[in-house]
């Protein structure tokens, strides 16, 4: 009697899952299959003539890997990610340690947390447009630097590889370090306080506590933060796209993988776009599996 009642209720599990499953299948699963399918076909516009779709097997992938462009863009993406991630994780660890340090008793924590998280919610394209105007050759930053006598003629921020990449990395770092800080802080708060107390009794300095207790115990969260940041880094698009107007200038040094994908999507070269997508999908799937393995147990426990 009891069992049949439970079964009768449990069919509602399926009913409540239905909207998710239908929408997932239509808008994510089917597109994924079409993407993979397209990657095996030659399908593009050459001038005004439509080429294909013809089945070409792995030819798109072959073209992709031997063409050389993909390596340049993969390298750009990685360089930009590293330039953004290293200062970001350093800042976040520092701030997280300060915020969660009970001996330090920092005041105004809520204010600082509010401020550092704010850039995360900013429209990346508007933020890039803002930086583009501020750092343009005749823009406010140049005129400010000239007014205080720091430079004598405008510095071309967007025409030099170093400064263009630096700006992109800086903007991304600014947008994401608050988020990382809050995640790491939540992890630090979760560490058993008796460990810190014991260390204090033993006369450990804050530096020792940080390196000997906090950091090792934080390792799973650090791995999580790093891999999710890497997945996010692979998706880098809005900022360089708007900042460089999609050209990836100077000399394609800021062209990322998703910008490359976007270019193929706009020129309707579906075969190549498919191959790039599948490549990105495989990389993110592997990275996701690592995240899943690292945090999977935690998650199921909730």
Site for other proteins in 251-280 (CB under 8 A): 258, 261-262, 265-266, 270, 273-274, 277-278, 280
Residue count, binding to other proteins (CB under 8 A): 114
In this chain, which of 96, 119, 240, 248 binds other proteins, going by CB under 8 A?
A: 119
How far apart are CB 191 and other proteins at their closest, in Å? 11
Q: Tell me the Cα Rg of the chain.
A: 25
Q: Which stretch binds other proteins (CB under 8 A): 51-59, 70-78, 122-130, 155-163?
A: 122-130
Tokens found for residue 152: 């004598």
How far apart are CB 165 and other proteins at their closest, in Å? 18
Instruction: Please report whether residue 12 would count as binding other proteins according to CB under 8 A.
Output: yes
Q: CA 121 → CA 8, 86, 228, 282, distances in Å? A: 44, 21, 18, 29
How far apart are CB 75 and other proteins at their closest, in Å? 19
How far apart are CB 39 and other proteins at their closest, in Å? 8
How far apart are CB 163 and other proteins at their closest, in Å? 17
How far apart are CB 31 and other proteins at their closest, in Å? 3
* Binding track, positions 36-75, relative to other proteins; x by CB under 8 A: --x-------------------------------------
In this chain, which of 46, 102, 147, 152 binds other proteins, going by CB under 8 A?
A: 147
DSSP 123-159: -HHHHHHHHHHHTSTTSHHHHHHHHTTS-SS---GGG
Tokens found for residue 18: 């239905």
Site for other proteins in 72-111 (CB under 8 A): 91, 94-95, 98, 103-106, 110
Question: What letters, b where the CB count within 10 A reaches 16 and e where it falls short, cover 102-111?
Answer: eeeeeeeeee
Distance CA 277, CA 10 (A): 38
How far apart are CB 176 and other proteins at their closest, in Å? 12
Site for other proteins in 171-230 (CB under 8 A): 174, 178-179, 182-183, 185-187, 190, 203-207, 220-221, 224, 228
C-alpha dihedral over 211, 216, 222, 227, to 10 degrees?
120
In this chain, which of 129, 151, 198, 251 binds other proteins, going by CB under 8 A?
A: 129
Q: How far apart are the first and last CA of the chain?
A: 32
In degrees rounded to 5, what are phi and psi of residue 50?
-85, 120
Cβ proximity of 60 and 67 under 8 Å: no
Residue with tokens 């998703």: 258
Q: Which stretch binds other proteins (CB under 8 A): 29-37, 50-58, 66-74, 75-83?
A: 29-37
In this chain, which of 53, 160, 213, 281 binds other proteins, going by CB under 8 A?
A: 281
Tokens found for residue 174: 């600014």
How far apart are CB 28 and other proteins at their closest, in Å? 6
Question: What letters, b where the CB count within 10 A reaches 16 and e where it falls short, cover 26-42?
Answer: eeeeeeeeebeebbbbb
């Amino acid at each position: 009697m009891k069992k049949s009642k439970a079964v009768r209720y449990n069919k509602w599990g399926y009913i409540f899952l239905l909207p998710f499953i239908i929408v997932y299948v239509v808008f994510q699963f089917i597109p994924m299959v079409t993407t993979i399918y397209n990657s095996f076909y030659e399908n593009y516009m050459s001038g005004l003539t439509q080429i294909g779709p013809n089945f070409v097997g792995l030819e798109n992938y072959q073209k992709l890997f031997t063409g050389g462009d993909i390596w340049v863009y993969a390298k750009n993406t990685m360089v930009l990610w590293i330039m953004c991630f290293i200062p970001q994780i350093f800042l976040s660890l520092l701030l997280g340690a300060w915020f969660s340090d009970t001996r330090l008793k920092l005041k105004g924590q809520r204010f600082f947390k509010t401020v550092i998280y704010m850039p995360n919610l900013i429209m990346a394209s508007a933020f890039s447009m803002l930086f583009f105007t501020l750092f343009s050759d005749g823009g406010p930053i140049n005129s400010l630097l000239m007014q205080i006598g720091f430079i004598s003629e405008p510095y071309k921020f967007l025409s030099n590889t170093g400064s263009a990449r630096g700006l992109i990395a800086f903007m991304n770092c600014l947008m994401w370090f608050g988020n990382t800080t809050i995640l790491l802080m939540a992890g630090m708060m979760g560490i058993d306080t008796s460990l810190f107390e014991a260390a204090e009794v033993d006369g450990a300095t804050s530096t020792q506590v940080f390196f000997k207790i906090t950091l090792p115990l934080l390792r799973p969260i650090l791995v999580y933060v790093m891999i999710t940041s890497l997945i996010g880094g692979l998706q880098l698009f809005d900022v360089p796209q708007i900042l460089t107007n999609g050209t990836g200038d100077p000399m394609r040094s800021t062209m990322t993988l998703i910008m490359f994908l976007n270019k193929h999507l706009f020129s309707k070269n579906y075969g190549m776009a498919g191959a790039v997508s599948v490549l990105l999908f495989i990389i993110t799937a592997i990275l996701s599996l690592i995240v899943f393995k690292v945090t999977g147990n935690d998650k199921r426990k909730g």
